[in-house]
Each structure stands twice: as structure tokens, then as C-alpha cells.
Amino acid sequence: MEVTMALFITKRLLMALATVLVVAVLAFLLVHAMPGSPGAVSLGAGASQDAIDEVNTRLGWNDPLPAQFFRWLGDAVQGNLGASLIDGRSVSADLGNRLPVTASLAAGATVLSAVLGIGLGVTAAVRGGLVDRIVGAICGLAVALPAFWIGIIFVYLFAVQSSVFPATGYVPFEVSPQDWGLSLALPVITLAVGGAAFIARQTRASMLEALQQEHVRTLRATATPTWKILYVHALRYASLPIVAGIALQFIGLFGGSVIAEQLFAMPGLGQAVQTSVSTHDAPAVQGVVVIATVVVVAVNLVLELATKFLDPKLRAS
Amino acid sequence: MIPNVAPAPADSAQATAAAAVQPNSVQPKPGQRTAFSKVSASRLVGSPGGVAGIVWLGALVIASLTAPWWLPYKTEDQDFTAVLSGPTAAHWLGTDELGRDLLSRIFAAAAGTLGTSLITVIVGVGLGTALAMVAAGGDRTEGVISRVTEVMMSLPGTVIILAVIGAVGTNIPLVMAILGVLISAGIYRVMLGQAKSLQSQLYVDAAKVDGVSTLGISLRHVLPGLTNTIVVQSALIFAVGMLIQAGLAFIGFGPPIPQPSWGGMIQGASQHVYDAPWLMVPTGAVLALTVLAANAIGNALGKAPNTAASHLPSAGARRQRGGSVASAGAAADAAVGAAASAADPRAMPAKGQLSVRNLSVGVDGGTPLVTGVSFDVEQGTVLGLVGESGCGKTMTALSLLGLLPAGVSAAGGQILWNGKNLAAATEREMEGIRGRDIALISQEPMRALDPMFTVGYQLAGAIRRLRKVGKAEARAEALSLLEKVGIVDAKRILKTYPHQISGGMAQRVAIALALSGRPRLLVADEPTTALDVTVQAEILSLLRTLVKDTGMSVVMVTHDLGVVADICDNVAVMYAGQVVESGRTATILDNPRHPYTLALLAADPHANTAADMPERLATISGQVPQPKDWPTGCRFMARCQFAGAACAAPVPLLSSGSESGMVRCVKADELAVEGLEWLATEVPTHRVLKIVEKDLA
């Protein structure tokens, strides 16, 4: 059993590595397809062709593509993602500063979505009837409303009408844990609305399926209290698809951070993608795509192992 | 921003992307083609949400296509007298910061939004479906494609889309097409199961033998079966496409300014949330309504009729339980009670005595499933409930524990357990009875045990609950119970999960579980049907030993007369929701009085010894009638070889003359006198090769 588990983990790790590599190649090619050479981008309009050529040669832009890629890869594994074409700062350092922002945002939104979604989904499945229909309607509305729209409404309600939360900005945890929490509140809630609705639907469907299983009858026949059937046995049975749903949701929420960071002016990865794409800052785009992929793939790997651990059949085989 | 790169789950559990990891996720059975075939227009029209969705989308499409002719303003017309205005007569939905008419801009932007979202749908659903059909054709291709789509699904789609925008610019049709490629992985996951199921149909095998090409099979046999799912996913992806497109426009990657787009307009509105919050409303509402409409269409079509009933009634139903029977039963109580006491001189039944009197079970407020069933089970005896499938045996048995499926309940009569009427008991009272007084073992032991917990956890948990003992004691008792049901390496079995043990072993565990509360009555619902023949014999002999050792009684549901002969003291033969004959086992097997019993015996290959085995086994033509088709007279009449005019009137259950025997047949005495036998029907010679149907299989 230990051997197969180790084999499984090894396989998954290799696959994750391959995924990151594929994305790295893809990002490299995309960046090369961007309009404007690095020299043109970094020197801006009005630069002479000679100056542009000089920068391009210095950056190795005219070298064969494979050589460029492997040079980038060699630097990347040492933690050097190059320098921004716009301000010349280290991309790694910049992304390093931004990662905690997006991580807090995505993690917070995932946790809140999971808690709200599982709670709502279980309630809908267990109570049925009117409660189920109300939860269903709320979820239907929540997945239909775009996150950016919800976010603006929240800003209007909680920051403009009553200044409970700051409308924009981000306070690092080291500076003030309390302000950190407050600054995250609105973006996290904004992202969690859709996420919670998705997880609630998944949870409701899985719970209903769990309650249709014949072993529920056996549990009742042995006088198992209803709360235990619902919250220990059925929820445990439903936990696999729920966790899989949360894993999918994390990917979506990580992407959602682009919107939330733009809306709430937070210096995260999403904002970096948006600016670097707008300014054609090639090394920054390449770096942020790879970093985002590494984070998402890593979290996915952990959740997949969690699913594996949750299922006795998979665990044993 | 990509809310769900995997398609959002429709209301049906089957359509969830994550359902792929469900341990016992219900796979569509081969042959169940109707479950996912053609697009059901009636399903769509029958759902108010679906109709509203179609109306809204249709209206929007028409309005946006005809926009140039009816829009009050051009999208760029600026009315500086009404900047940031609310709804007015001139500007129905108000104006933006440049005094441009919102209504005009919203509808002018609609065509582009809808059209480009359609690109995502066509690419995403088309590619996903094609991949699923290719993968369903071969295991190796499936492995490769599944691996690739797994990778695609674990990518940060939004970031990649943005990088693509960096490379190709805000070429929205192209970006939406690439989004479709990313989304196709999720579609593939949803489609694969169905495509594989369709591919494994017998008619597909037949087509292969006929030399139809792989492509031909995919197009002719697999694709039509996927139609409904394709439409459902298209609707859902259409909504996702619109949301993502709006999101992109919101962060500045929309159509070039000043061309209007919904996302761009919301972005503009967000700048004025302080001074003109109204600006948020019209565009947001139109976008949300359009997404809602697409989702509603998808959900209306995707909602598969849910056939499986929950085994846990809703909270409301649990509270109500007993109420209806209490009132219905009260009237009958007096009459039946008097009759019962008249028939039975002992006023107080002995400990562990079950008397079912005139029990009716039915779908709530509808069809009856069991009517007027009465029987007694004395302490330490075994009663067999026999009959074909669909005769109400299981419903009768489950009603004894108050474990009828959701939506079915005891509608009248009494289940007297030591004098207490369980048919009218509350859920709380039944919780005190279940396990401790009356226990259950069911047909499929594997499905009766919770796959997520070890045998030890389930068994020890039940013992702690039912015997009020501590953890350690329960553990020891679990071990001894397993040994008692004949499990040799009980210590090891305690640590295993249900999927790790064989069916026979699982049934022993299920029996141990049933014994954990030292019940006085065991309800066994076809406990051997799902097992191998040799294991069947072992389980029966175990049950016989347990009856002898513990003195408990058993109600054994079976369709196997061999089991009846083997273990039952008394038998009640059920047909179409009624008891048609009951009495001592020996009497009934040797001297059956009801034609149905006669027929069952004649049709049972095991009831005939090798010497008197007839050349052709008897059959019972036709089928058990559905409850809605039950006649007022004898329910067996349509299939009975001896039926006559008198059988059309209601038939009472009368004493058959031998001991406690009862029979429900107007011709019982006549048949007994004439000594008639149930004959094998003549088979026309041209059909001789046809395999004779075995009614008791």
C-alpha cells in the first residue's frame, strides 16, 4: 500500500512538473508573438531603431528560440525570471511581493466559499421543500451575477453608504493583521458569492445522492440518530465530489483575483497580469503565467491527494 | 473571472464534473438509452424557468438584430443636457457620463456579446464532444486524451487567456475561440461517461460486426444519444462565455473604445458608483438576466427525472409520520381489534409477538401498494413472505421497521408488536424499536454497508448505541458477534472496508450488525438472492442456528420456495399486494389451495425431484399487474388457469380448513375436491426452441 501510494505521488508530481513545463513553453511562445520587440517596449515611442536593436541584442532577442527558452529556463529554476522591460525591476522580486496578496485572496475566497457552500448545500438537501427552493434560487442568481458587478455593489453598500470596510487597497499582514483582514473582506466576499453557489449546488447534489444509498437504510435500521446519518455518514460519502468541486473552484477563484484586484486596487498577481499584458512587458507576462500555473497545479495536487485519502477504495488500491 | 472552467453543475447529479470521482456514482446502465437520448422539448416547455429563458433570449436576439431600426439614439450620441441621468421619458434607462443613452448602448452591444459567446460554445462543446467520442472508441486514446484534458483543467485559464490577449491583441472572436478550447476539457469530462456507455451498447457491437466504420458508429449511434447533453452544456457554456467576455471588457480587454460592450459599460459605471449608482443597474440587470436565461434553459433540459428515492424522509415527513395512520387506523382498530381478540383467546400477546392486521401501504395520497395484509409471527418462528417481484413483499417487510422509502407510508391497519401499534408510532418511538426489537438485513450486503467506514466502526458504533456500552466493550462484542456469524479471522475483518470483503462475508457482517441490538424479530429481505448458491446455503444455515440459539423470530422475504422449505415455519404467499394463502409451511407446500401457490410450485424446478421432473416446466403466463391495474375481483384472475365468472367479485381471505391456514380463492374447495393441477401450457411447435421463461428466477 505504501509503495503504491508513493508511486502514485511520484507520478502526480512528474505530471505536475510536465504541466508547468508545457505552460512555460506556451508562455514563451505567446510572449514572442507579442507585438513589439523588447527594445521597442522598454525604450518606448520615439526611440531610434539603433537603440532598439542594441537593447534587443543585449537581451538576446535575436538568438534562436530554443536557445532563448533554455536560457530563460535555466535562470527560472534559479529563481530569476528576468527584469521588467518597463521599470527594469526584477520580475521574481515583484511577483514575490504580489503572491501573498493573491494567495490571501484566493485562499480566503476558497475557504469562505467552501464553508458557505457546504452549509447551504447541506441545508438545502436536508430540509428540502421551500428551503431547498430558496437556496436554489439564490444560487442560480449568484452564479449569474458577474463578480465585478457584485463587487461594485458591495463597495457601494459597505464602503460608500456605510464605511464598514475600506473600498480599495491592501494592507500586508505584517503591517496590521486587523487591517489586513478588513482590506481583504470585500474582495474575498465578492469572489466567494459565485464560488459558494457552485459548491452549494455540488454539495446538495452529492448529499441527495448519498441519502439515496441503501446503506442509509441500514443505518436507520440500527437506530443511528438522524444527525449522525446526515452529518457523519452522508456528508462523508458526499465529501469526495465536494472536495473535487472545491479544487475546481480554487482554479476559478485564482483567475477571479484578476477582477477583484483590479476592482479593489490590490497589488496582486492578477493586477500584474493585467498591467504587464497591457504594456507588453514580455518577461513579466511570462513570469506571472508560470508562477500562477505553479501555484494552481500545486494546490490541485494537494487537493487531489486529499480526495485520494478520503476514498477508502482509492487509498487501499 | 473564469467562474467555472468546468461547466457548472446542472441540477442533476449526473452532469456534475466532479461526479467522476464519486465512489459509487450511478453509471447509466447499458440499455437505458431513453435516459439520455433526444432533447426533450416537453421538459423545456414544462419548466417555467426554461420558457422564460427562451422568451428572454429570443427577445434579446431579435431586439439586437433589429436595433439599427428602432433604437432611439445612436450609440455615440451625446446628450449633455442629461449626463448621468436616471430613467427619464427621453432616456428610458438613463444615460452615462457622456450623456449617451444606456438603452441604445445595451442593445447595440448585445449582438456582438451573444455572437462571440456562441463562438466559445461552438468551439468548446464541439471539441469536447468530438474528443469524448474519439476517447470512447478506444482505451488507449482515452488514456491520452484524459491526461491532456486533466492538464488543461488544472491551468489558470484566466491568466492564460490574458497572455493570449497580450499576443494577439483584443481580437475578441479569436480570444473567445481559445477560451472554448480551454473549456472543452470540462465538456469532455461530462460527455465521456455517456459516450462510453453509448459505445458499449449491444447495437453498437452489432454495427461493428457489420463493418460500420468507427466514424460511422460515432456519428450514427453515439452522437444522437449525446444530443440532450450537448444542448444542456451549450446553454451553460454560453452563459460562462458571456460572463468571461464581460469580465475581460471590464478590465479593459473589450472591444475598442468607444464601441459599447456590457463589461466596458459596467466598468464605466463603476467609476460613478459614488455619484450615480443607478448607472450600475441597467447593464448589470440585462447581463444577469441573459446569463440566468441561458442557465435556466440548460437546467430545464438537464434535469433528469430522479428515480431513486431518498432513504431518509425529509424532516417534515418524519414529524408527520404515524399521524395519518393513527387517524385512519383508529376507526379500523375497534373492529379489527375485536376480531383479533375473538380469534385469539390470549388477550396479552407473548413477548416478541408480531401481529399484522389489515395493513395497507401506499404511495402518499395515491396508489396502494399493499392492501389488507394480515399475518402473525410467534416468538422463535420463521415466517416466509413469498411471491413474484412486485407483489408488495418488501414494502410489507420494510413497514414493520417504519423504513418505507420516502413518499411511501402505511395507509391503514395495524402492525402490533407486543400489543403496540407500530403503524401509528412516531419516528422517535420507531427509533427505540429499530435495532433493539426489530432488525433488518437486506438483499445486497455490499450496498447495505457504508463504503466509507470500516466494518469495525459500523459494528462497534451500532453496539454502543443499541447496548449502551463503552468503546472497549463494544469492540470486544463486535469481535464476538463476527465470530458468532461464522467469520474466522474476525480481527482482520473489523479493520477492512466493505469493498475489501466478499458478498457472503458482507452478508455475515450485515447479520452481525442486525444482531448488535439483540433483536427479538429479524426482518430479512431476500438475504440470499444476491449471493452464490453455496454461500446461500451457508447463510440460511447460519440464520437457522441463530433462530434456535437466540429465540428470535424472522420475517423472511423471498421468492425462492427452496428457502421457504428450508427455513420457514409458516408461509404467507403474496400476490399483487395481498396475502392469497397462508398457513404452515408443510401444509402449503404439500397441499397448496390457491391456484397461485399451485402455479409457483409447478413452475419451480427445485420443487420437483428428478424422478417426477416434468418434461416441460409449468409457467405462469402474463405478469403481476401494476397496482393501478388491480381489478376489483381476484387479482390473479387474468393469469389463472381455473378462473371463472365468480372470480370477478371481491374475494375474502377465508379459512382453508387445515389448522390456521387461510386462502383467498372462491374456487379453493372445488379445486381441492377435483385435485386439479397447474399444467404446463402447450407451446406451438414453431416456438419450441424459445427458452422457457423461469418465473421464479
Chosen domain end from A61, A91, A121 = A91
Cβ distance of A212 and B308 shorter than 8 Å: yes
Report which of B9, B56, B428 is spatially closest to residue A143, judged by C-alpha positions: B9
Please identify among residues 58-97 of chain A the ones whose CB lies closer than 8 Å to any CB of chain B: none
Chain B residues within an 8 Å CB radius of A276: 166
Tell me, yes or no, whether A99 and A87 share the same domain. Answer: no
On the 0-12 / 13-18 / 19+ scale of CB atoms within 10 A, B274 is: exposed
Q: Enumerate residues 6+ apart whose C-beta is below 8 A from A174.
A: none
Which range among A100-114, B299-313, B524-538 has the greatest average pLDDT? A100-114
SS3 letters for B318-345? Answer: HHHCCHHHHHHHHHHHHHHHHHHHHHCC
Please identify among residues 468-527 of chain B the ones whose CB lies closer than 8 Å to any CB of chain A: 497, 499-500, 510, 513-514, 516-517
- Which amino acid would we find at residue B261? S
Query: Using one digit for the tens of pLDDT, what is the confidence trace for B628-683?
Result: 889 998 999 988 888 888 888 888 888 877 777 899 998 888 887 777 778 776 65
Number of neighbouring beta carbons within 10 Å of residue A66: 9
Report which of B603, B599, B562, B555 is spatially closest to residue B580, judged by C-alpha positions: B599
Q: What's the gap in Å between the CA of A273 and the closest CA on chain B?
A: 7
Beta bridge partners, B368, equal B362
Tell me, yes or no, whether A46 and A155 share the same domain. Answer: no
C-alpha cell at B21: 470521482
Q: Enumerate residues 6+ apart whose C-beta is below 8 A from A266.
A: A101, A105, A168, A169, A170, A183, A187, A260
CA distances from B53 to A229, B294, B470, B597 (A): 38, 6, 58, 57
Which range among A53-57, B110-114, B328-332, B456-460 has the greatest average pLDDT? B456-460
Fold of B42-75+92-302: MetI-like fold (1.10.3720)
Residue A17 domain boundaries: 1-91
pLDDT at residue B414 in the model: 92
Query: Using one digit for the tens of pLDDT, what is the confidence trace for B60-105?
Result: 988 888 887 887 777 777 877 777 887 887 787 888 888 888 888 8
**Band of pLDDT at residue A242, cut at 50, 70 and 90:** very high
DSSP conformational letter for B101: B
Tell me, yes or no, whether A227 and A126 share the same domain. Answer: yes
pLDDT at residue B82 in the model: 77
Nearest by CB to B497, from A35, A285, A316: name it: A316
Between chain A and chain B, the number of residue pairs with CB atoms below 8 A apart is 312
Our CA angle for B37, B39, B40, nearest 5°, is 105
3-state secondary structure of B623: coil
Number of neighbouring beta carbons within 10 Å of residue B512: 28
Q: Mean of the pLDDT values across residues B349-353?
A: 64
- Whether the per-residue pLDDT at B322 is higher than 70: the answer is no
Tell me, yes or no, whether A208 and A230 share the same domain. Answer: yes
DSSP conformational letter for B625: P
With cell 460519502, the residue in question is A237
**CB distance B559 to B697 below 8 Å:** no
Alpha-carbon distance B53 to B47, whole Å?
10
The verdict on B9 touching A (C-beta cutoff 8 Å) is yes
The verdict on A192 touching B (C-beta cutoff 8 Å) is no
Tell me, yes or no, whether A44 and A134 share the same domain. Answer: no
C-alpha cell at B143: 488514456
pLDDT at residue B26 in the model: 37
**CB distance B312 to A218 below 8 Å:** no
pLDDT at residue B121 in the model: 96
Q: Which of A26, A135, A143 to substitute to test the interface with B, most B CBs within 10 Å?
A: A143
Helix axis angle, B533-550 relative to B503-515, nearest 10°? Answer: 20
Portion of chain B with pLDDT greater than 90, in percent: 37
Alpha-carbon distance B335 to B331, whole Å?
8
pLDDT at residue B349 in the model: 41
Alpha-carbon distance A111 to A189, whole Å?
11
CA B198 centroid distance within chain? 20
Query: Using one digit for the tens of pLDDT, what is the confidence trace for A215-241?
Result: 999 999 999 999 999 999 999 999 999
Nearest by CB to B247, from A206, A223, A259: name it: A259
Tell me, yes or no, whether A84 and A227 share the same domain. Answer: no
Alpha-carbon distance B71 to B59, whole Å?
14
Prediction ipTM score = 0.90
Chain B residues within an 8 Å CB radius of A305: none
Tell me, yes or no, whether A85 and A99 share the same domain. Answer: no
Tell me, yes or no, whether A87 and A227 share the same domain. Answer: no
**Band of pLDDT at residue A255, cut at 50, 70 and 90:** confident
Please identify among residues 147-166 of chain A the ones whose CB lies closer than 8 Å to any CB of chain B: 147-149, 152-153, 155-156, 160
Tell me, yes or no, whether A66 and A101 share the same domain. Answer: no
Tally of domains in chain A: 2
Helix axis angle, B48-65 relative to B102-137, nearest 10°? Answer: 120
pLDDT at residue B693 in the model: 58
CA distances from B88 to B71, B85, B95, B645 (A): 16, 8, 9, 82
Q: Where are the domains of chain B?
A: 42-75+92-302
- The CATH number of the domain where A240 resides is what? 1.10.3720.10
Mean pLDDT of chain B: 82
Query: Using one digit for the tens of pLDDT, what is the confidence trace for B478-488?
Result: 999 999 898 99
**CB distance B407 to B320 below 8 Å:** no
Please give the residue that has the higher pLDDT: either B3 or B117.
Answer: B117
Nearest by CB to A221, from B155, B273, B401: name it: B401
> What is the C-alpha radius of gyration for chain A, rounded to an integer number of angstroms?
24
DSSP assignment of B558-619 equals: ES-HHHHHHH-SEEEEEETTEEEEEEEHHHHHHS--SHHHHHHHHH-GGGS-STT--SS---
Alpha-carbon distance B586 to B609, whole Å?
16
- Whether the per-residue pLDDT at B2 is higher than 80: the answer is no
Query: Using one digit for the tens of pLDDT, what is the confidence trace for B581-612?
Result: 999 999 998 888 899 998 888 888 776 665 66
The verdict on B452 touching A (C-beta cutoff 8 Å) is yes
Query: Using one digit for the tens of pLDDT, what is the confidence trace for B360-396?
Result: 999 887 889 999 999 999 999 999 999 888 889 999 9
Give the containing element (helix H, strand E) for B507.
helix B503-515
Chain A residue with minimum CA distance to B165? A277
Tell me, yes or no, whether A228 and A286 share the same domain. Answer: yes
Q: What's the gap in Å between the CA of A145 and the closest CA on chain B?
A: 5
Chain B residues within an 8 Å CB radius of A258: 1, 158-159, 162, 251
Alpha-carbon distance B424 to B415, whole Å?
8
Give the containing element (helix H, strand E) for B357.
strand B354-363
Cβ distance of A214 and B444 shorter than 8 Å: yes
Chain A residue with minimum CA distance to B308? A212
**Band of pLDDT at residue B463, cut at 50, 70 and 90:** very high
Mean pLDDT of chain A: 89
Query: Using one digit for the tens of pLDDT, what is the confidence trace for B681-692?
Result: 665 555 555 555
The verdict on A46 touching B (C-beta cutoff 8 Å) is no
Please identify among residues 215-244 of chain A the ones whose CB lies closer than 8 Å to any CB of chain B: 215-226, 229-230, 233-234, 236-237, 240-242, 244
CA distances from B27 to B30, B369, B435, B577 (A): 9, 29, 32, 31
Please give the residue that has the higher pLDDT: either A290 or B328.
Answer: A290
SS3 percent helix, strand, coil of chain B, rounded to 5, is 55, 10, 35
Alpha-carbon distance B216 to B208, whole Å?
10
